[in-house]
């Protein structure tokens, strides 16, 4: 019996996808903050696509063992922004949006391979491996998109919602941020809670993929 969350034979697909997804996600935060006038992440070497600057070893281990993980958070000082609220929202949203773009890239590449007819000439084993890789690439990036938009600290969704709260409410919310991780763990590891909270959200992956395919069909006229 494997002690990993994922099938052992799929481990290369998982690692490639997660390294790319985490790296691009954190780079998007850092690069956007830098362009908006906050040099904090740049000074710490985070405006880079080098995975070593972004990956957290413990977060990666949790991913393999428990099915969820994390990267090193990007330091952002919203006080350096000319327009703190809108710019901080944009910086925060850049991470999840990068995962949406990566998922769309996966759908587009698979769509292109199918449209070109290349997949008709490969062996069954190669086709199975390609399907597995693209399935993980698309779904993991969509999971990260949806997961990070959950409005619980320290996730991106909470930081976005926080920007819309009045100053007084923001101060009150900050007192309870320490409980965000605990609440998230309860939602993940208690099946009845997971079934009525996180699981339905992750069900949004299918309509998102369908929407991407419909967009490509509209642009290219559908598969032959």
Could you tell me the residue ranges of all domains in the chain? 8-220
Angle at which helices 124-148 and 205-220 cross, to 10°: 120
Here the tokens at position 91 are 């910086």
HSE (side-chain half, CA atoms, 13 Å) at 42: 9
Q: Are 47 and 41 in contact (CB under 8 A)?
A: yes
Tens-place pLDDT, residues 101-145: 999 999 999 999 999 988 888 899 999 999 999 999 999 999 999
What pTM value is reported for the model?
Answer: 0.90
Instruction: Please report, in tens digits, the pLDDT of each residue of the chain (224 residues total).
Output: 455 667 778 888 988 999 999 999 999 999 999 999 999 999 999 999 999 999 998 888 877 776 677 899 999 999 999 999 999 999 999 999 999 999 999 999 999 999 998 888 889 999 999 999 999 999 999 999 998 998 888 889 989 988 888 777 777 777 777 777 778 778 777 878 878 877 888 889 999 999 999 999 999 887 76
Q: Which of 9, 26, 163, 206 is catalytic?
A: 26
Catalytic annotation on 26? Answer: yes
Separate counts of helices (H) and strands (E) for the chain: 11, 0
Q: Is residue 192 within a helix (H) or strand (E), and if so which, with residue range?
A: helix 191-196
Distance CA 29, CA 176 (A): 24
Q: Which residues pair with 71 in a beta bridge?
A: 55
DSSP letter (8 states) at residue 149? T
Q: What is the pLDDT of residue 3?
A: 55
């Amino acid at each position: 019996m494997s002690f990993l969350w994922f099938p052992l034979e799929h481990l290369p697909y998982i690692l490639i996808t997660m390294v790319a997804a985490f790296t691009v996600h954190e780079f998007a935060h850092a690069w956007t903050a830098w362009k908006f006038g906050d040099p904090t992440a740049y000074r710490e070497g985070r405006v880079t696509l080098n995975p070593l600057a972004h990956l957290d070893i413990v977060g990666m281990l949790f991913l393999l063992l428990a099915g969820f993980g994390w990267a090193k958070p990007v330091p952002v000082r919203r006080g350096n922004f000319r327009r703190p609220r809108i710019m901080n929202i944009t910086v925060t949203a850049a991470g999840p949006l990068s995962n949406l773009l990566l998922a769309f890239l996966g759908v587009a590449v698979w769509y292109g391979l199918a449209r070109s007819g290349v997949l008709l000439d490969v062996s069954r084993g190669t086709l199975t491996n390609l399907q597995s890789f693209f399935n993980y690439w698309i779904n993991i990036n969509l999971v990260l998109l949806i997961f990070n938009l959950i409005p619980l600290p320290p996730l991106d969704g909470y930081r976005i919602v926080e920007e819309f709260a009045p100053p007084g409410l923001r101060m009150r919310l900050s007192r309870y941020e320490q409980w965000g991780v605990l609440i998230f763990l309860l939602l993940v590891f208690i099946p009845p809670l997971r079934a009525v909270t996180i699981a339905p959200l992750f069900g949004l992956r299918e309509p998102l993929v369908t929407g991407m395919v419909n967009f490509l069909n509209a642009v290219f006229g559908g598969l032959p």
